[in-house]
Structure 1
């Protein structure tokens, strides 16, 4: 949809295909599709200068699908440390960006796992490390004369390097237990975008309903040589809510907009974002010659008095663990529409939240959780060891993602660590405890607007939410453990369900308690080899009975502030989903919804 006044996309009603949904410009072109491709098992490419002299291979890969996946056309899950990609940037590609004299042409990547080099027309334009984070390069000055230009990417991903943040990617050649096929190389969108020499690099939105303000923190692509005009306009439903103008003299600009509609204490809730009412406020951004669109969700998220609070009110969280993995494309999304369908499916099943597990999800999914109304817990993919290198890599990726996803209203909780992955000896190692505590503090220093769970599951330090993982299959056991605060306090003071201490340090007297992993009932409809789950059902009726028993025990708790059921979809041998790997519900949707909501 195009806004008639400004001839630019309207962010809140976009079609979900733009890789950066909270900073839209009309001038961009998607580089997805066929690229030339070659494995480099001998690591000869750098020595032989493949960026200039492509090896004699005609293999093609469909970008952005990883080479391990069937969707890529390569479908090779064996060990390969290095892969190369090559694509011609045509005159039509460049023309589609609408570049004019004085503009800068940006080459952007959503994610490349794990380390990469990028060349354009034989010139190295940059390198990047971090398999889950976005990056971009200005390629304006390296384009050689001519109608076509050559883009080459070298991706390096050592499957045995356990200091890399890996998440659920298996270090073994074949998937086992809860780990899956690897996702290497380019696995999120690649695109070209034209921007002015001084333009908007990023925007962070913070809404403060209590003071009737919305704050925009702009980071510009460069410090202006002379003051640049900045104008921001907020609209909702065709009505202007706020507008302000200022001048930028530095690369960072903070603009506070007064929103009079929020000052009406009887009507302001009509603008608030929630899963039931996912109102999005459109934002038009003008910085010098740059014209972009964004959106804001006005809401607050915090914890107090044993509750998770959304917009100052207790909000019971009904969440589902989501691996973000597809049989045909692995960690990459099969399509932009598949991300919309995933968010809608979760809502249809009766959940108001999801925890994307051990993965930073594609921003296009976060657009749909913003637009459709679904709370998200943002969780980091873990490394499998503790070392100086693993800490540096984890922190680097975490900082980049907190920056990338800061403005999504659907993200209401940050989870930097899970089940002590990467800090396996945190219960007795003070340095690991300090690391976990520092992640909490660093996250809050960057983003004081959301709660932080220090180590989801157990062995938590300074956590805002006591997040417990408990895969007991007996509903009576679950009911007894979570019937009241006294029962939970007894677990916290002793040993938790997994034989782990639940909380190592911090004041949790007012912290809400959530059962953030439980269930995991395997019901294998596809006759998967080595089907795995925490318990197993043998028929539709048995599956329904087991679900009803566990969810009934959870709903009966007088103290839990929410839950996260394991899990949404079957994933390879892990057959404990509510739906199959192809997202087919194992019971009628209405029945699953009634079980999850407790109706």
Structure 2
């Protein structure tokens, strides 16, 4: 089996924890048309686009990187591309791999797909992946026409949309839209019987379980084998028989080195030591012949909350986070290049942070790979809808469940955040139905993954949160210090109206002594190079020195608190009119990195 080493991949593979040796990247120049009159279906565009323009996929048509650069309202768009014999060959189609899977990383918001005019399938959800078996559509002929119709209503408040504006021009904290394809489209040839999905779970203190979801018929006597290794040294291999017609199999692998409590830390994952375990997972026939094999990786670590602390690997850990919008001026929600994700993670670490809160976006898995590999804690957050209705509830619940299932095996993710600042539940303080929804979101997250803390509503008005998070943009460090000073301050925070006039707990939710974290603060505007007339922030610095002084004072207040278990600064970069980033929108630090790092960490520069 000639498989890549998953923990040392280059960051281009769209599904980094389930690698095969062959795949075909379909991004690049496609044909494109707006369909403002929504006439394309009736006019037969599923067979090909008349009078089309070129677009660079996966960049949204609102962005300059796409080559279209039309940010106005265009709720229906169409794409087309030819799938060639070369594409299929690169994808690995051939002996032993007769089936072809067409993958989409993300299409915002709804998508319909055709090949040569034949309908392939549809998907709803702008941030989650979907796939179709297109074998019968592409196995004859020299070339095939792939057509995608995407629909993204800018006024539909039931769609999970995150920070995408419903105004034509961005205002306050909302940004330009991302319509249509914004993550990789790719082809993969697979065996008739293959591993469709793979999930890693720690099974007690000294074992891990690989859960394989299978597609195709597993012959009698077939088995699943999992081999683990660290630094090219074998940890163990386990093979279990699969009883047909099983479509799922669990393989639990003991790791003897973890039984020695003192030596176990040599295998544990943390931001300081991002150790990854490599794995080869295979399906085998009764005679040992390999039916399918994938390369994967995992990280061994535990997260929990106890006695007011956030615990990583059983010990209190100071979560020092930064809010990351995952937005670029030239490409919006899509990363400008494959290497961008590595640079983002490294910059966050260079600034002195141990964590990133991905805000109102389900991030590309390749960002999570670099967080896993370089060592960055991630708070994963759902993009919010703005309406409370049965449709909005169903849409967000479905998309969030898909996101949790996709990302559950990444060791970097340590907290799930299905809602933020009561978006979509604006009356949660008094409405039992909205309170029930917030509780349900948190509980279904725990049902899918009981291993991580869950926040029901980040910022305020919590129901059944494992961490009580607070958003407080007080700009005076002395005032912030008094607000979060000691146990008496903690009690006032819970018993009275909190920052922004919001209660911290609603609907009779009790205080169980959960950790309290300041998960949005700062937001200080400073524009070192250019002045925007529409600049927006919570407070403003006079110059660079004043800006560093203000940030330092806020962090000094947090460090002086007797109960805060973590924090998250707003924000990593400027984003359009929000000029409150530590970096410009072009990812240039506004002051020397060592100055920012000293303010964030409290470790003063050596003179």
- Does the alignment reach a TM-score above 0.5? yes
2:186 is aligned with 1:191: yes
- TM-score, structure 2 normalization: 0.96
3-state SS, counterpart of residue 401 of structure 2: helix
From 543, 548, 558, give the equivalent of 1:539.
Answer: 543
Q: Residues 340 and 471 of structure 1: is their aligned pair in 2 closer, same or farther, counting only changes over 3 Å? A: same
CA RMSD of superposed structures (Å): 1.1
Is the 2:518–2:568 contact (alpha carbons within 8 Å) kept by the matching residues of 1? yes
How far has the Cα of 1:27 moved from its partner? 1.3
Is the 2:64–2:331 contact (alpha carbons within 8 Å) kept by the matching residues of 1? yes
Separation of aligned partners in 2, 1:225 and 1:258:
27
How far has the Cα of 1:208 moved from its partner? 4.1
Q: Mapping of 1:444-459 within 5 angstroms?
A: 444-459=446-461
Q: Residues 315 and 508 of structure 1: is their aligned pair in 2 closer, same or farther, counting only changes over 3 Å? A: same
Q: Mapping of 1:495-534 within 5 angstroms?
A: 495-504=497-506, 505-525=508-528, 526-534=530-538
How far has the Cα of 1:555 moved from its partner? 1.1
Partner of 1:123: 118
How far has the Cα of 1:54 moved from its partner? 2.3
Q: Deviations over 1:111-164 (max 9, x none)?
A: 000001101121111000000110000000122631111100000011010110
Is the 2:48–2:80 contact (alpha carbons within 8 Å) kept by the matching residues of 1? no
Partner of 1:377: 379
Give ranges in structure 2 of 5+ residues lacking alignment.
285-290
From 62, 80, 91, give the equivalent of 2:74.
Answer: 80
Partner of 1:574: 578
How far has the Cα of 1:506 moved from its partner? 3.2
How far has the Cα of 1:98 moved from its partner? 1.7
Q: Mapping of 1:251-290 within 5 angstroms?
A: 251-288=247-284, 289-290=291-292
Separation of aligned partners in 1, 2:89 and 2:343:
32
Q: Deviations over 1:479-511 (max 9, x none)?
A: 001001220221211100110001114343331
Partner of 2:10: 15
2:254 is aligned with 1:221: no
Partner of 1:406: 408
- TM-score, structure 1 normalization: 0.97
How far has the Cα of 1:206 moved from its partner? 1.1
Give ranges in structure 1 of 5+ residues lacking alignment.
1-5
Q: Residues 141 and 491 of structure 1: is their aligned pair in 2 closer, same or farther, counting only changes over 3 Å? A: same
How far has the Cα of 1:7 moved from its partner? 1.0
2:151 is aligned with 1:147: no
Separation of aligned partners in 2, 1:257 and 1:541:
54
Q: Mapping of 1:391-402 within 5 angstroms?
A: 391-402=393-404
From 549, 556, 574, give the equivalent of 2:560.
Answer: 556
3-state SS, counterpart of residue 215 of structure 1: strand
Separation of aligned partners in 2, 1:74 and 1:400:
30
How far has the Cα of 1:446 moved from its partner? 0.8
From 200, 206, 228, give the equivalent of 2:201.
Answer: 206
3-state SS, counterpart of residue 362 of structure 2: coil
From 132, 136, 143, give the equivalent of 2:127.
Answer: 132
Is the 2:224–2:251 contact (alpha carbons within 8 Å) kept by the matching residues of 1? no
Is the 1:464–1:508 contact (alpha carbons within 8 Å) kept by the matching residues of 2? no
Partner of 2:294: 292
Separation of aligned partners in 2, 1:120 and 1:559:
58
